[in-house]
Amino acid sequence: MKLATLKMVLKRALLQPRGLAAFAWRRLMHTEDVDALRLSVKALGYQLARELSGDLERITVADEPRRHAITSKACTQADVASPWFVHWCGELHIKPFYHRKLWEFAFTLQAMYEAGLLQQGRRGFGFGCGEEPLPAFFAARGIDTVATDLDPARVAGMGWAETQQHASSRDKLYYPDIVARETFDRHVALAYVDMNNIPGEHDGKFDFCWSICAMEHVGSIELGLRFVKESLRVLKPGGLAIHTTEFNFEDSGHTVDHWMTVLFQRRHFEELAQRLAREGHTLVAPSFDVGDGALDGFIDVPPYAFGHGGWISRDHWHDLKVGHLKLAVHGHPTTCYGLIVRKSGA
């Protein structure tokens, strides 16, 4: 099927929800047809992502990295089709394609670059690092990093270890294609830290801190917001915190709270900005635009092609051919959101 035809079909099906809802209602008594409709939309969405991903290899990145005035924002198709996204995928030795989890890595690195933090001698602190490649990336640039995760004794049965989202040892953070072993050992330390109870021994020692889709797992929306403010304690005055998380972008007040994975909404980030401002901190220019591309209108539904919650394990970063930017979580349209917070005292 031609790319133009795929775009037309997706826009008609996904960007005209009233028409789609009316069709689904007429066919409600034939549940097997509804299942077929769901699978058809998924197949079209994945095929569109496949075809568009081929275009990413033709994006010119010779002038990267450079400033793009990155702000706190949601993942969009335009971001993935940008030179900065493709550049950072290359730096991580990952073939770029349309997936919101890769966007989290690229967004974090772009925000750090624009803040002048990707320099030798800087110090970083990561929360809930799992097996992500960022500590290895920082080590390769001479940045000392403390990567943290929950104590292994507390993750049994939670699914993190089984889906390669938990760092049970420092070796889980080592990427030989990104950094030499000796350099990694010199610059990366692993500590077990409860994000709801950050030890005071780390206070005021770091230039930046970060987390990749971790704050939605601390127990509730309120605890997640509190974590963002508490994470600033590890920073020096004027330091930068970058946290990505799950964003329910529907307009209603309904969302998921007090659960293993909670879904933040615009109102929660606006409240966070006010809380931070009262203490002199800044949530950098939050935008709530979720994009208008065809893939911004494709909301994937379970079963996802990449496993638990759409997470990509490190074993599959190089061979996946499908992707998504938005997905339904407990029926709510969701994507990733990146928070950039500047600590007071610069």
* The amino acid at 229: K
Q: How far apart are CA 135 and CA 179, in angstroms?
A: 10
pLDDT digits (tens, 9 = 90+) for 13-48: 554 444 555 554 455 445 567 777 788 888 888 889
Does position 155 have pLDDT exceeding 90, yes or no? no
Does position 158 have pLDDT exceeding 50, yes or no? no
pLDDT, residue 165, reads 45
**What is the overall mean pLDDT for the chain?**
86
pLDDT, residue 42, reads 85
* CATH assignment, 3-342: 3.40.50.150
- Specify the higher pLDDT residue, 241 or 6: 241
Lowest mean pLDDT among 27-31, 151-155, 284-288: 27-31
pLDDT digits (tens, 9 = 90+) for 49-99: 888 988 998 999 999 999 999 999 999 999 999 999 999 999 999 989 999
- Specify the higher pLDDT residue, 284 or 156: 284
Q: pLDDT-derived band of residue 301, with 50, 70 and 90 as boundaries? A: confident
Give the residue extent of every domain in the chain: 3-342
pLDDT, residue 29, reads 46
